[in-house]
Amino acid sequence: MGCATTEELNYMRYVLPLLGLTGILTIAGCSTSSHFGHGKAGADAPRPVQQCNAQNAQWAVGKTNTEHNINEARKRSGAYMARVLKPGQPMTRDFNVERLNLEVDATGRIIKAFCG
């Protein structure tokens, strides 16, 4: 085994620090804590459950399927999300207590508001 050549030494002089820097940046990018906190909950903090109450969204039945009406029905129901179901549209049968479902007819009128 011999000594390293000048060319190999120059290569190591530039490549090794870059490899170290890459490792440090990779580890820093995976960090979940923030040193720039503004008093807000971190990304790991669970949000509270927003349970749907369809009774509070019944005012929307008969109204037009607009973004405003959908958002207002969702807010009033307390749901975290809203889903619009159009005629003939397939729908998952999973029950989600945080979801308001708004069923609309072919004319775009809301005909039913229910949770799930």
The 10s digit of each residue's pLDDT in 40-51 is: 555 678 989 899
Return the SS3 of 69. helix
Domains of the chain are 54-115 (3.30.10.10)
Phi, psi of 35 (to 5 degrees): -95, 5
The 10s digit of each residue's pLDDT in 40-93 is: 555 678 989 899 999 999 999 999 999 999 999 999 999 999 999 999 999 888
Rounded to whole angstroms, how far apart are CA atoms 8 and 21?
20
DSSP state of 79: -
Rounded to whole angstroms, how far apart are CA atoms 60 and 103?
11
